[in-house]
Amino acid sequence: MTVPEQATPSAARLLAPNPSPMTLEGTNTWILRDPGEPGCVVVDPGPLDDGHLDRIVGAGPVELIVLTHSHLDHAEAAPRLAEMTGAPVVARDPAWCRGVPPLQPGRYDAVVGVEWLTILTPGHSSDSVCLLLPGDRALLTGDTVLGRGTTVVSHPDGRLADYLDSLRRLRDLAGTDVDTLLPGHGPIVEKPLVVLDFYLAHRRERLDQVRAAVVAGDTTAAAVVRRVYADVDPVLWPAAELSVQAQLDYLAAKE
Ligand SMILES: [Zn+2]
pLDDT tens by residue, 87-137 = 999 999 999 999 999 999 999 998 899 999 999 999 999 999 999 999 999
Ligand 1 centroid to residue 124 C-alpha, Å: 7
pLDDT at 255 over 80: no
Question: What average pLDDT does range 70-74 have in this prediction?
Answer: 97
Ligand 1 centroid to residue 125 C-alpha, Å: 7
Ligand 1 centroid to residue 59 C-alpha, Å: 24
Ligand 1 centroid to residue 36 C-alpha, Å: 32
Q: Is 35 exposed, middle or buried (0-12, 13-18, 19+ CB in 10 A)?
A: exposed
> What element of type H or E holds 31?
strand 28-32
Q: How much is the pLDDT for 143?
A: 98
Ligand 1 centroid to residue 84 C-alpha, Å: 24
Task: Tell me the C-alpha distance between 1 and 103, whole Å.
Answer: 30
Ligand 1 centroid to residue 216 C-alpha, Å: 32
Task: Tell me the C-alpha distance between 254 and 190, whole Å.
Answer: 35
Contacts of 120 (CB under 8 A, 6+ apart): 92, 105, 128, 129, 166
Ligand 1 centroid to residue 69 C-alpha, Å: 7
pLDDT tens by residue, 163-191 = 999 999 999 999 899 999 999 999 999 99
Do 147 and 188 contact (CB within 8 A), yes or no? yes
Task: Tell me the C-alpha distance between 225 and 223, whole Å.
Answer: 5
Taking Cα atoms as reference points, which of 163, 174, 165, 172 lies closest to residue 246?
A: 163
Taking Cα atoms as reference points, which of 71, 67, 246, 96 lies closest to residue 158?
A: 246
Confidence of residue 36 (pLDDT cuts 50, 70, 90): confident
Helix 237-254 vs helix 221-228: angle between axes, to the nearest 10 degrees?
A: 110
Three-state DSSP state, 25: coil
| pLDDT, greater one: 97 or 239 | 97
Three-state DSSP state, 118: strand
Ligand 1 centroid to residue 215 C-alpha, Å: 31
Ligand 1 centroid to residue 143 C-alpha, Å: 5
Q: How much is the pLDDT for 100?
A: 97
Pick among 3.30.465.10, 3.40.190.10, 3.60.15.10, 3.40.50.2020: CATH of 5-254? 3.60.15.10
Measure Cα distances from 220 to 45, 123, 154, 229, 246 in Å. Answer: 37, 22, 17, 14, 12
Do 199 and 150 contact (CB within 8 A), yes or no? yes
**Domain spans of the chain?**
5-254
Ligand 1 centroid to residue 94 C-alpha, Å: 17
Question: What average pLDDT does range 134-156 have in this prediction?
Answer: 95
